């Protein structure tokens, strides 16, 4: 993928005949500074750990809801929500863990 910036054709910026300046820097792959994606992993028949640069919380399956917990380990996690959609539960845990108001995660 290349980044393109529109300029007037023939300008001092060196645009091509369509007025586009191609940026080679945009062709470089993402670096290690890019934030990691949120993921989850099944750790029990009815429990998932939410991972974002390490464990940040849990989603527990208690039909018909998914119970969201923030914190690690599980015994010290705090319940923060109950929702009906699993992927929304994972998002809630990740967003709450990233919030500056989130409870501190203990090891």
Relative to beta strand 3-6, strand 65-70 is unpaired
Which tens digits make up the pLDDT trace of 69-87?
Answer: 999 999 999 999 999 999 9
Express each pLDDT in 32-74 by its tens digit: 444 568 999 999 999 999 999 999 999 999 999 999 999 999 9
Residues comprising the chain, all counted: 107
Place of tokens 């527990």: 60
Burial class (CB in 10 A: 0-12, 13-18, 19+), 12: exposed
């Amino acid at each position: 993928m290349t980044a393109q910036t529109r300029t007037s054709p023939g300008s001092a910026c060196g645009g091509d005949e369509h007025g586009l300046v191609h940026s080679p820097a945009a062709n470089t792959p993402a670096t290690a500074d890019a934030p990691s994606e949120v993921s989850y992993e099944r750790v029990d028949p009815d429990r998932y750990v939410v991972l974002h640069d390490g464990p940040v919380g849990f989603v527990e399956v208690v039909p018909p809801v998914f119970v969201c917990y923030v914190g690690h380990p599980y015994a010290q996690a705090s319940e923060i929500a109950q929702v009906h959609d699993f992927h929304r539960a994972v998002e809630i845990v990740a967003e709450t863990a990233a919030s500056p108001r989130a409870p501190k995660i203990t090891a």
